[in-house]
Every structure is written in C-alpha cells, then in structure tokens.
Structure 1
C-alpha cells in the first residue's frame, strides 16, 4: 500500500479534523463504593448487559477469587462505563449508564452481595468457602460495602458507535470472543434480536440439550452457540449452502447482515416458522432428534445426544422439503418418514461421513442436507 503524499494528507486535513472531533472520547475518573454500585445495578441505573456484551461466562470459582481479592483490598482493573443519552431518564434526574468493560467482574460482585453466589475454591480465606454474603462476619460486610471501585466514565454523546468501538478494542487479547458473540457486536439489528429470543424457546432448548433448570450455566448459552444454531438454520435454508465461499463463519455473518434488513412482519413470520419446525421435530423425534448414530454389529449405536451436523441435515432438510403448512396436514406420515430417513441414512457410509469431522466443511454441509431432503421427498 502506497503512503499518501503530504499534499494528499493536507487535502484531507479538514476530514481528519472532523473525524477527530466526532470520535474523540471524553472521560472522567469516578469511584463508587460497592454499596452504592450494587444499589445502582439493582435499580437499573447502571445496566450490566447491553446488547453488545457477552453473556456471563465466569465460573463460580473465578467469581469467588475476585470476591476474595476485593475483601483483601487487592487492586482490580478499572471498570469502563458509558453514560447513556436517554433524555427522559436524564430529565427525571436518574441518568443511566451501561458497562462497556467489566461486566464479568460486576456480575460476580452483584451476585455475591445479593446472596446468589456461595464462595468456593478460596485459598487465602479458605474459612469462607461455602459462605454467602449474609454469612460473613459484620466487619467483612462493612469492608465490602465501603470498598471503592475505580471507574472510567465515558461521555459517548457525540457518536453512539464509539461505545461499541471501545468494547471491541478493550476485549482484544482478553477472553476470546466466540463467533456469535462477535456478531452480536458487529451485526446488531432486529433479526439478531429475534434470534436471541428464538434461542430461548423451551422446545428448541430441549432439542439442543439445554436443560430447563439453570440454562445460563450451559456452555451453549454462555458462548451464544444456541443463537448461532438458530442463525445456522436460516442461513442454510434461505441463503443456501452454495453461498459458503470464503468460510462458514463469514457465511453466517454475511447472512445475518442481510437478515437484519427484513421487515418486522417478515421477522415475525420466520420466527413462527422456526418455532413450528422445532416443535414438530421435538414431537416427532423426541429431545434427542439431532443425536448422532453409528452402525455397530448391524445395529445403530448412539454416539452423542446432539450433533450440529445432524441438526443441519434434519432441520434444514425438513424445512427445505416440507412447508410449515404441510406439517399440520401430514403430521403422522411425516413423522414416519422422518424416523425412517434418519435410520436409513445413518446406515449409509456417505451420509455418516458427511456428519463427521469438520462440521462446517462446505461440501459436507451440502451433502448431508441434500441426502436428507431427497430421502424425505422420496
């Protein structure tokens, strides 16, 4: 890439100055004692989970070690918060802030001080293992309430996009963001919001092996893999596997950006279709509809309760062959066809190969969906 000449740079000086004014981040150092911080989080004055944040992923042990550090007055990293610009809230004298960096730390502290987290795996203060906040001796409760946390408050009123930029930059080099977590930041929009709601569907969660009790503890939910599975269904059904050119991650991201352009009515219709197919599959094949099987001594032996490649084949194969209206009309016959197709194809070496190895290999994706759709249509 050639370096711009001084003349070119001078010509663009006005543009550079304008961008610098618009995107310069104004900050203010503030300190909150934990008692105040917890109250503000509790009454939503400080919002812990803006749309671009990842879901809480710290283990109880990691959270406990942070609490131990706070009790021992060990310094913890600065929390970055951004002032919102909701005029109505400011007029009411109740400004609202969102956490840009520090969600995991603040969630751990909030959960503990709300008696939702027992301490565990502590080494220095091992006597506190198993203790909830309410179990602490009074002097430690006072110490926690009066402990101050340094925050850097960011005024992002000039350009709202700046808070997302800061989030991405601050998280570079920290816990690696998973693919869907990144899309949640970079491909925001109405369809992305709808996917997050679809992923919470009771029947869908049963199919992808997310238990009803404490779903937030499931790895699929923590890493937003459940949301990615919902996106995967639409990307393969609407866009088609032939558009997997640069790679599967890029294919999903490009698909989501396109889907975010859909109208509210289109998104509502697609949401209903997704729920309809998932409800039918649960009823027809049970909660282990997307399990993987192999032939062993002429019988089929289950290898796993859920497999993303099998999910592609069955869910997308069904949706590509049978309309949502046909499900209700031919429920019994379709159920028999689904069961027969699944058993027959798992005895087919070509199909088994297509659901094995790299889940996102374009050729395998095409093969497994095509084979299941053709068997279902026959």
Structure 2
C-alpha cells in the first residue's frame, strides 16, 4: 500500500455507517446542511467534467435539451447573463456529483467538444451556425473565463438531511422519485447489488414490470431486503425506513451482499413456484387477479417465503391450486384484507400482515 494511499485514507476516510442512529432520532445539531461555495471558471468546469472530478450520476435524467436551449446558455455566457447556481454533492474522495445542473453542464461540455453548432441566438445572431472551434479566440477566452457559482453539499451532512435537500432541489420537468434519489445519495455496493437483482429474469416475470424507467423494480428489491433483514426496526414513513436501511448497508461487505443476493434469489424462486403470475396480486376463487402489484401483499408473501424452510422442488400443480384456493379465502378475511388495503404503512399493519401470511403459509405447506 503506497504512502499516498495511507495518507488519503487518513484524510478522507469512508464513513462508518453501521452504527448510525435511526433517522427519526437525528440530534438537532446534526440536522444542519453543511455546504461550501465555489466559483469555478468554465475552463475549470470543462476540465473537471472531462476528468470526472465533476460527474453526472446514473440516477440523473438523460440529457434532453435541444440545440436551441443549449445555444441560449452559451449566448448567456457571452453576454454575461447570470446563470443559475449549480448544486453538487461532494463525496469522501473529494469528487463532485451533480444534483442540479445536469443539462447546463452537459451543454457546456458538448459545445466545447465541438459537438453542436449554435442555433437561434437573439443577442448575437452573427454567431449562428458556428461551432466552438469556429469562434474567434477572444470569444473563446471570454467564455472560458466566465465563472459559475457552485454550492457543494459536504460529506459530513447527515444522509437523511441530504435526502430532504435533494427533494427540495428536484426541479426537473419530471421530478426524480424516492428510489432515483436514493441511487444518488446512497450510491455504493448495496445500490449496485440492488440494481443487479432488479434486472433478474424471474423478478421481471413475477413483478411484470418490463420497461422499468423509474427504478420501480429496484425499490421493491430494496423494500424486500430491508424487511427481510431489519423488520424489527421498521417505522413509518416507509421512505424513511428504506433510507435508513440504504444508509446502514451502503458500504456493506461483499459477504453481506452475497447473503442478501442468495436470500433474495431463493425467495423469488419460491414465490414463482407457489404463485407464478398470481404473485403479489389479490385474486378471487376463479384465480382471476388484478393487474397491478399490491406492494403490501408483496411484503407479506416475500417475507413469508423467505422464512419458509420447506424445499419446493417437488411442489405439484394440485398442491399449488389447493394453496391458491386457501389464499383466495384469506383475501376474503376482513382482518387480513385491511392490512393490504388502507393504511398499509403503519407498523402494526406491516408486522401484522407479514405474521399472518407467514403463519398461513406454514399451515398450508407444513
């Protein structure tokens, strides 16, 4: 190990997230947002983007600006029109991920890379049709000397406070959902594992979520992992519970993540064997199910099969249909149907439906 790496480990240690407090118990003095402001020249920003010292995280929306929008930004730099503040998140290795400003930064990088020509300018129409390399060197220097204000959220900010701030800065035309935000805030080995599991063929089959543009399958994987491994610490709201789990296991060991993967894979195999296309959907005695997933039922079924010890390799179609009939009877029971209907995120409802379905499955398959 080099002396440089030893020094870097001392100066920029990775956080120990395994002893973190519950989100709802964050002390008041830790609820503050820690930030630092930087005024970077366009020249510096361009170099940082090329070296990925500043980078666009995977959870961010793809680049959607058209050439006219991007050209207006470049023209604003020329006429020295104020540009909105860029918001970044600084990681423990001192790199910056972009929270708000993806379209602006990508436009600057593309233009300086000579990847589009200017179009639709109003203040300087003389520059229409010109690429970066076509501009007079004096105009190029003028643009590269312009500075943009950047506000960076520092790594010692509590993760749940970051989540709240990310939501407040979520200004896109299609706002990021909770799981997309988690992929940015808690990016690390756990999120990578969740992404991998969300793409498994059997998971796609039982959830019937094929085109997953909003990370829905990923959130359901994380939901299962959190309840399978941390159910006793469950609290409402569910979003806070999932955030706490993602923070706690953000940098989990490879051994822990392999166990998560094995448990998840076995649970999906079992639920597929038992219910197939009926998985996670209430159905009637004719075995007609609703199309949409009931996520409360998903909790109950996935944790119940996770706890199930019986191997299911020899499970027959006759046994399966007998189970389906009993399950349809269970859906008719008011006490159970209420736990997968209204108010499904309360602690009593979550623990109640999981326990009820676990007992039911053991009775049917015991």
* Contact 1:56–1:107 (Cα < 8 Å) also in 2: no
Residues 1:355 and 2:340 are matched in the alignment: yes
Q: Is 1:319 the counterpart of 2:306 in the alignment?
A: yes
How many equivalent pairs are there? Answer: 305
Q: Is the 8 A contact 2:303 2:354 kept in 1?
A: yes
Q: Out of 257, 280, 285, which is 1:267 matched to?
A: 257
Corresponding residue for residue 9 of structure 1: none
- Distance (Å, rounded) in 2 between the aligned partners of 1:165 and 1:246: 14
CA deviation digits over 1:205-231, x for unaligned, max 9?
A: 44434325xx4xx23x1xxx5443223
Taking the aligned partners of 2:353 and 2:309, their CA distance within structure 1 comes to: 17
Q: Say whether the 8 Å CA contact 2:87–2:101 is kept in structure 1.
A: no
Instruction: Indicate conservation of the 8 Å contact 2:85/2:151, yes or no.
Output: no
1:289 is matched with: 279
Per the TM alignment, residue 47 of structure 1 is displaced from its structure 2 partner at its CA by 2.1
**Structure 1 residues 28 and 71, CA gap change in structure 2 (3 angstroms):** closer
Asked if residue 48 in structure 1 is aligned to residue 48 in structure 2, the reply is no
Instruction: Identify the match of residue 331 of structure 2 among 330, 340, 346.
Output: 346
Match of 2:168 among 163, 173, 195: 173
CA–CA distance in structure 2, aligned partners of residues 254 and 245 of structure 1:
10
User: Does the 8 A contact of 1:82 with 1:99 survive in 2?
Assistant: yes
* Structure 1 pair 343–83 and aligned structure 2 pair: CA distance change class (3 A): closer
Q: CA RMSD in A?
A: 5.0
Cα deviation digits, residues 178-232 of structure 1 (max 9, x gap): 55566567767654553344334343244434325xx4xx23x1xxx54432232
Q: Partner of 1:161: helix, strand, or coil?
A: coil
Give the counterpart of 1:235 among 215, 226, 232: 226
User: Does the 8 A contact of 1:288 with 1:305 survive in 2?
Assistant: no
What is the CA–CA distance in structure 1 between the aligned matches of 2:334 and 2:109, rounded to whole Å? 50
How many angstroms does 1:71 deviate by?
6.0
Q: Secondary structure at the match of 1:77?
A: coil
Using the TM superposition, give the Cα deviation of residue 268 of structure 1 relative to its aligned residue in structure 2, in angstroms.
0.9
CA distance in 2, matches of 1:141, 1:184: 34
Q: CA deviation at 1:283?
A: 5.5
CA distance in 1, matches of 2:278, 2:132: 47
Q: Secondary structure at the match of 1:29?
A: strand
The answer for unaligned runs of 5 or more in structure 2 is 1-32, 112-118, 121-127
Answer whether contact 2:193 2:257 (CA < 8 A) is retained: yes
Write the distance in 2 (CA, Å) between the matches of 1:355 and 1:340: 18
Distance 1:255 1:308 in 2: 18
- Specify whether residues 109 and 302 from structure 1 end up closer, same or farther in structure 2 by C-alpha distance, changes over 3 A only: farther
Per-residue deviation, 1:280: 4.1
Give the aligned partner of residue 16 of structure 2: none
Does structure 2 conserve the Cα–Cα contact (< 8 Å) formed by 1:291 and 1:307? yes
Mapped contact 1:81–1:97 kept (Cα < 8 A): no
Distance 1:252 1:27 in 2: 31
Asked whether 1:204 is paired with 2:212, we answer: no
Cα deviation for residue 368 of structure 1 reads 2.5
Q: 1:202 to 1:140 in 2, by over 3 A?
A: farther
TM-score, length of structure 1 as denominator length: 0.58
Question: What's the offset of the Cα at 1:172?
Answer: 6.4
**Paired position in structure 2 for 1:101:** 99
- 1 CA distance for matches of 2:164 and 2:238? 24
Unaligned runs of 5+ in 1: 1-22, 87-95, 114-123, 126-136
Distance across 1 between alignment mates of 2:110 and 2:344: 39
Residues 70 and 285 of structure 1: is their aligned pair in 2 closer, same or farther, counting only changes over 3 Å? Answer: farther
TM-score by length of 2: 0.60
Counterpart residue number, 1:29: 39
Deviations 1:8-46 (A, max 9, x none): xxxxxxxxxxxxxxx997654223269x83x86466454
